[in-house]
């Protein structure tokens, strides 16, 4: 039997609860497809800060690098919130591992499960058929550019007085844009063959460069794919106005952060959306939602986005397409049977169809 080593990063909040369900699903898939998934846990985020003083301990990074794939749950929580630049923050763990593993492509599929179409705050005829893939650049831009904060004796406070100033740098190099553009065009060829490239070329120099490079890559290598440019502010509107029109949306890191969450919310069921972060080596899979500290430890968190990140892992890291299809079918079947966690239940969901984290994981495993 083939063996894959998986590095598990439960993180904070509901993380440990939902990742356990992801592992259950991995085990079930392994049994069916004669594959062994050997899982090792490591610390990332707030729990790592508490245990070691840093959000991304060396040990964790080494474990991740040595693995065949990383399954992350979620990091962060109010406990570690701080604006003091000197203090460690859980997000440094997430950003650090993305950078260290070179995970420059973040794929965020946004789809509507038929059984949950009602969960959207948008009208049913608007969300009908929504099926897009956000391709977010993940290791460049404002997230990783130089940043600093100063105290100046004059000119920064009111009326020329003393005060602080700070900056962050949005920087891109040609190869960073080129490789993410290729990822977007490749993804489009496997889908509806259309790419929307999002920038703010009427203001930002990085956006003007972005637009030129995306078009060059398109014209030279992917002229068969339909390509349109859309300004980021207009995109924020059109996602609400005509979400079903989008196929692949490619954009830089910060715009991608904002637009992918907006697009996720259009489905009304953020608890159902997974993401893959890919580079040239080990890849990382995580839910699109956060660590939900407010419901942590109660056994009520929705594990389905975590389970769907296992689906993505099977697809992208292990090329186990049948197994991935199985997982998706199982999740769809469980929803079609009416089972819901609290976050995705509707006004008409009968009380006995509302289940907790573990029960939901069990239902998916049964369906496999």
Q: Torsion angle of alpha carbons 312, 315, 316, 317, nearest 10°?
A: 100
For the chain, how far is it from start to end, CA to CA, in angstroms? 20
CA distance 272 to 306: 8
297 is in an annotated binding site: yes
Least CB distance to ligand IPM at residue 94 (A): 5
Q: Which does 298 bind (CB under 5 to 8 A by kind): ligand IPM, a second copy, none?
A: none
Least CB distance to a second copy at residue 175 (A): 5
Q: At what angle do helices 174-189 and 205-221 cross, to 10 degrees?
A: 50
Q: Torsion angle of alpha carbons 316, 227, 203, 205, nearest 10°?
A: 60
Residues 234-293 that bind ligand IPM (CB under 6 A): 257
Least CB distance to a second copy at residue 19 (A): 21
Residues 30-89 that bind ligand IPM (CB under 6 A): 76
From 78-86, 91-99, 158-166, 211-219, span contacting ligand IPM (CB under 6 A): 91-99
Residues 165-224 that bind ligand IPM (CB under 6 A): 202-203
Least CB distance to ligand IPM at residue 76 (A): 6
**Cβ closer to a second copy: 204 or 354?**
204
Which residues 6+ apart lie within 8 Å of 281 measured at CB?
65, 101, 102
CA distance 7 to 88: 23
Q: Which does 217 bind (CB under 5 to 8 A by kind): ligand IPM, a second copy, none?
A: none
Q: Which does 149 bind (CB under 5 to 8 A by kind): ligand IPM, a second copy, none?
A: a second copy
229 is in an annotated binding site: no
**Alpha carbon 30 to chain centroid, angstroms:** 24
**For ligand IPM, which residue of 8, 23, 47, 94 counts as binding (CB under 6 A)?**
94
Q: Among candidates 83, 92, 87, which has minimal Cα distance to 55?
A: 92
List the catalytic residues.
143, 200, 233, 257, 261
Q: Among candidates 260, 214, 269, which has minimal Cα distance to 239?
A: 260
63 is in an annotated binding site: no
By CB under 6 A, residue 233 contacts ligand IPM: yes
From 22-30, 90-98, 171-179, 354-362, span contacting ligand IPM (CB under 6 A): 90-98
**Cβ closer to a second copy: 12 or 326?**
12
Question: Which pair of tokens denotes residue 210?
Answer: 């972005």
Q: Which does 2 bind (CB under 5 to 8 A by kind): ligand IPM, a second copy, none?
A: none
302 is in an annotated binding site: yes
CA distance 287 to 273: 6
Question: Which pair of tokens denotes residue 305?
Answer: 């986005």
CB atoms within 10 A of CB 189: 14
**Cβ closer to a second copy: 211 or 340?**
211
CA distance 144 to 134: 20
CA distance 16 to 37: 18
Least CB distance to ligand IPM at residue 231 (A): 7
**Cβ closer to a second copy: 164 or 321?**
164
**Cβ closer to a second copy: 25 or 284?**
284
Number of residues in contact with ligand IPM under rule CB under 6 A: 8
CA distance 290 to 250: 22
Backbone angles phi, psi at 81, to 5 degrees: -65, 130
Q: Which residues are annotated as a binding site for Mg(2+)?
A: 233, 257, 261
* Binding stretches for ligand IPM (CB under 6 A): 76, 91, 94-95, 202-203, 233, 257
Q: Which residues line the annotated binding site for NAD(+)?
A: 290-302
């Amino acid at each position: 039997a083939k063996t894959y080593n998986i590095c598990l990063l439960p993180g904070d909040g509901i993380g440990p609860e939902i990742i356990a369900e992801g592992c259950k699903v991995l085990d079930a898939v392994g049994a069916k497809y004669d594959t062994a998934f050997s899982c090792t846990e490591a610390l990332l985020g707030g729990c790592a800060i508490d245990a070691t003083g840093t959000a991304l301990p060396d040990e964790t990074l080494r474990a991740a690098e040595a693995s065949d794939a990383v399954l992350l749950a979620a990091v962060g929580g109010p406990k570690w919130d701080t604006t003091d630049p000197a203090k460690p923050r859980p997000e440094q763990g997430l950003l650090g591992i993305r950078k260290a593993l070179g995970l420059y492509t973040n794929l965020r599929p946004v789809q509507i499960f038929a059984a949950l179409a009602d969960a959207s705050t948008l009208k049913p005829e608007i969300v009908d058929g929504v099926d897009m893939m956000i391709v977010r650049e993940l290791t460049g831009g404002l997230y990783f550019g130089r940043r600093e904060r100063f105290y100046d004796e004059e000119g920064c406070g009111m009326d020329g007085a003393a005060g602080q100033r700070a900056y962050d740098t949005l920087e891109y190099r040609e190869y960073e844009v080129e490789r993410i553009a290729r990822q977007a065009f490749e993804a489009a060829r496997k889908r509806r063959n259309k790419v929307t490239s999002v920038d703010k070329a009427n203001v930002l120099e990085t956006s003007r460069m972005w637009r030129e490079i995306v078009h060059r890559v398109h014209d030279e290598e992917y002229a068969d794919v339909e390509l349109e440019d859309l300004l980021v502010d207009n995109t924020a509107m059109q996602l609400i106005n005509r979400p079903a029109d989008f196929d692949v949306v490619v954009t830089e890191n910060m715009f991608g952060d904002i637009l992918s969450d907006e697009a996720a919310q259009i489905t009304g069921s953020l608890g159902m959306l997974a993401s893959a972060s890919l580079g040239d080596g080990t890849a990382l899979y995580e839910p699109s939602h956060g660590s939900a500290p407010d419901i942590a430890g109660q056994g009520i968190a929705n594990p389905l986005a975590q389970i769907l990140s296992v689906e993505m892992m099977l697809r992208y890291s292990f090329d186990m397409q049948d197994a991935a299809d199985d997982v998706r079918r199982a999740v769809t079947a469980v929803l079609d049977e009416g089972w819901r966690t609290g976050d995705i239940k509707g006004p008409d969901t009968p009380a006995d169809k509302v289940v907790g984290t573990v029960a939901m994981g069990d239902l998916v495993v049964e369906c496999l």
